[in-house]
Structure 1
């Protein structure tokens, strides 16, 4: 990912997530940005269309300055993908923590059957990414990690192809994140 901040726009010189409106490159102007979170684990902007676009961590200050200059509000959100992808972390999850995760997902509108289906669909991809790819993430796997797994060159392309059309998969991840 390569991003450049200009006075009146953010230029994504290289955005690796297939299906994104700015893939492989594109520009976003302030009028297309609903809000941003420069303090997130991976800084992000949310467009007026509901798309979440990520900014490299080392450019947090640039994103904050851009947003302040253009009156773009900071809004922190819980990444529902962190709960959906919890079973693929390289750690043991205590039963009480799993119950809390299930409850948060239920409150967000995810019935247990849907959670199980999402996890079943993504299990091969996330195992290949976090374990076979030796990422070994033990604390958080979120939307950024899911998109990384779906596009990482070290993940077997057959697993990525099994996700279906990249634009449709990307749209599904964004719609899920919006819940």
Structure 2
């Protein structure tokens, strides 16, 4: 496993203050929190037991079509946007979600993988200098500086390692905004998580900068 190899490299890593499998059973269960239950109606989406308290979906379960700005059914997990917020949906109804968008003339979109690029160092795969340089350029094109990306990775690093390895996910394909929210939800107090949630949304909804 690539991650195991990286644990024993001499250069400093986010894992320096973390020991594998040291996470309590309680925190592991919090890291693996469910995304809730999705019901697709004729002209509404219903979400029950949504895990992220800062979200509008935590207190509001039904979203009528006129509230939904767009839907990304290609992402994992699928999302829909309400104003400046993304709502994450369970993935098993992807086809039905696409049909719902078509039927109700809701705009569909494929969002950029900004959080996937930020979180790639925490996957169970090799993270090379070349990969880092490539992702840095991609993130810069969305207005994120190298220092900002380093700061985000430092803030979320330990929790992402717990999320991937102490839960036995061993994910190598990709992490996104919902994953980092699950990870940090298990660590932060309410006010801290509210601030983090806001920042996650701001980054997730960044658009590519155009040359002037």
What TM-score results when the alignment is normalised by the length of structure 1?
Answer: 0.88
The root-mean-square deviation of aligned C-alpha atoms, in Å, is 1.7
- Quick one: which of 152, 157, 160 aligns to 1:126? 160
Contact map agreement 2:156 2:184 (CA 8 A) in 1: no
1:110 to 2:144 alignment: yes
In structure 2, list runs of 5 or more residues that go unmatched.
1-35, 207-212
Q: Deviations over 1:30-80 (max 9, x none)?
A: 111111111222111112x12111221111122112111110121101121
Q: Which has the higher contact order (CA 8 A, sep 6+)?
A: 2
Q: What CA distance in whole angstroms lies between the structure 2 residues aligned with 1:141 and 1:31?
A: 30
- Quick one: which of 97, 100, 113 aligns to 2:134? 100
Superposition misfits of 4+ residues, deviation over 4 angstroms: none
> Which is further off, 21-30 or 11-20?
21-30
Q: What CA distance in whole angstroms lies between the structure 2 residues aligned with 1:144 and 1:85?
A: 11
Q: What CA distance in whole angstroms lies between the structure 1 residues aligned with 2:144 and 2:111?
A: 17
Larger radius of gyration, structure 1 or 2? Answer: 2
In structure 1, list runs of 5 or more residues that go unmatched.
152-156
Alignment of structure 1 residues 1-179 onto 2, 5 Å:
1-23=36-58, 26-47=61-82, 49-151=83-185, 157=186, 159-161=187-189, 164-179=191-206
Tell me the SS of whatever aligns to 2:56.
coil
- The structural deviation recorded for 1:18 is 2.4
Q: Deviations over 1:121-163 (max 9, x none)?
A: 1112111111222211111011121122234xxxxx4x333x8
Q: What CA distance in whole angstroms lies between the structure 2 residues aligned with 1:150 and 1:93?
A: 22
Contact map agreement 1:125 1:160 (CA 8 A) in 2: no
Aligned length: 171
Look up the match of 1:154: none
What TM-score results when the alignment is normalised by the length of structure 2?
Answer: 0.75
